Structure 1
């Protein structure tokens, strides 16, 4: 069994997916299984560059499972499907627009094992904002001790932690660290590159709620992470070593928005899956 299963949903983003798989293929942690759920139209699994990257991953000690899937039910269903394929103790949900520096996966796994929390994320920077420095959005709350369970309610002061994940704020804040220094910090939620403890994720139901959401939705990981933080805590890594391709999103409807947000399910999910109470 692999040390990490990398769970990668993709939809109509071939060039961005090539970038993402290139980062995966170059990881120093090579004991991996990459599980791809491809809903591209047409499917891209047989594209020559994709085939080459699969061979590189395999030649370096990993494996690749490729699933061509339809019909489309939305990103939460894709995440649910991928989780049901996973067997490793740790699973990395990696979006198809993220490039990882070679050390990222190994460092995330080390931190997850050390902290015994539910997840550790590595939020990507959009480097088109490299010159767009926003000090007022670079407030960081570090974990100075072990990561602990915490309740972060929507619209609470702690919810404003999401501002750090706008533009290239995290990238700029990371430049204040000493060379070679890594810190864990507190989050409201984190997107795009998150290593989870698979059993803890299953213990809050994973993404099995997908059928209750409209086809075009958002917030599925926001909901899951909120539940996980209440029971075991979660955090993110600085510097992250990850970068967005900055291609257009593929999860919006024709009007350029969504028809529902998974946080609408939060009150009942808290009642069902968590025991940590505010205060």
Structure 2
């Protein structure tokens, strides 16, 4: 069994997927099982570059698995499909537009194990904004002690933490850290590159709510992370060591919006999976 399952949902982003797989193939932690769930109109596996990168993963001691899934129900269903295939204790949900520096997965895993929290993220910077410095959006709330459970409700001051995950804010915020220092910080949620404790993720239902969402939706990871933070806490690392390809989203409808948001399910999901908060809820899955 691999140490980490890398779960990659993808759709019609062959060049970006190749960038993502290049980062995966070069990780210092090579004991990875890479599972690609592809809903592209033209299967990504037809690309010789993608085939070669998956071979590199295997040659370095990992495993690779590819599924072409022409029927499209939305990204939450993709994540649900991938979670049902997972077997490692830690699962990395990696979007198909993220490049990771070689140390990222190993450090995420070390942090997840040390903190026993629900997830650890590494948000990718969009370097087209490298010269777009936004000090008001670069407020970082550090975890100076152990990561603890916390309630972060929409509309509260803590919810505004999401502003750090815009443009190149994480890149700029990391410039203030001493060389070689990696710190944990508090989040409202994190997208694109998140290492989850698989048992904890399953304990809050995973993504099995996908049937209740319209085809074009968002917020599926916002929802599960909110539940995980209430029970076990969650965090991100800075610097993140990740970068976005900044290609157009494939989760939007023809109007460039979504038809529903998973956070609409938050009250009932809290009642079902996270009725207790704080120290009393931390003890078990």
**TM-score range normalised by the length of the shorter chain:** over 0.9
Matched residue SS, 2:44: coil
Aligned-pair CA distance for 1:278: 7.8
Matched residue SS, 1:65: strand
Q: How does 1:70-149 map to 2 (within 5 A)?
A: 70-149=70-149
> How many residue pairs end up in the alignment?
279
Partner of 1:244: 244
State the 4+ residue runs in structure 1 displaced beyond 4 angstroms: none
The answer to whether the 8 A contact 1:151-1:276 is kept is no
Partner of 1:4: 4
Rounded Cα–Cα distance in structure 1 between residues aligned with 2:278 and 2:233: 14
Partner of 1:13: 13
Partner of 2:171: 171
Partner of 1:225: 225
Question: Can you list the C-alpha shifts for 1:76-112, whole angstroms capped at 9, x where unaligned?
Answer: 0000000000000000000000000000000000000
Rounded Cα–Cα distance in structure 1 between residues aligned with 2:250 and 2:124: 17
Rounded Cα–Cα distance in structure 1 between residues aligned with 2:182 and 2:249: 30
Question: Can you list the C-alpha shifts for 1:141-163, whole angstroms capped at 9, x where unaligned?
Answer: 00000000000000100000000
Partner of 2:37: 37
Aligned-pair CA distance for 1:275: 3.1
The answer to whether the 8 A contact 1:2-1:32 is kept is yes
The answer to whether the 8 A contact 2:25-2:57 is kept is yes
Query: TM-score scaled by structure 1?
Result: 0.99
Aligned-pair CA distance for 1:44: 1.3
Rounded Cα–Cα distance in structure 2 between residues aligned with 1:22 and 1:59: 13
In structure 2, the gaps of 5 or more residues are: 280-285
Question: Can you list the C-alpha shifts for 1:193-239, whole angstroms capped at 9, x where unaligned?
Answer: 00000000000000000000000000000000000000000000000
Question: Can you list the C-alpha shifts for 1:15-40, whole angstroms capped at 9, x where unaligned?
Answer: 00000000000000000000000000
The answer to whether the 8 A contact 1:149-1:276 is kept is no
The answer to whether the 8 A contact 1:126-1:244 is kept is yes
In structure 1, the gaps of 5 or more residues are: none
Alignment root-mean-square deviation, CA: 1.0
Aligned-pair CA distance for 1:113: 0.4
Partner of 1:47: 47
Matched residue SS, 2:153: coil
Q: How does 1:248-267 map to 2 (within 5 A)?
A: 248-267=248-267
Q: How does 1:140-219 map to 2 (within 5 A)?
A: 140-219=140-219
Rounded Cα–Cα distance in structure 1 between residues aligned with 2:220 and 2:242: 21
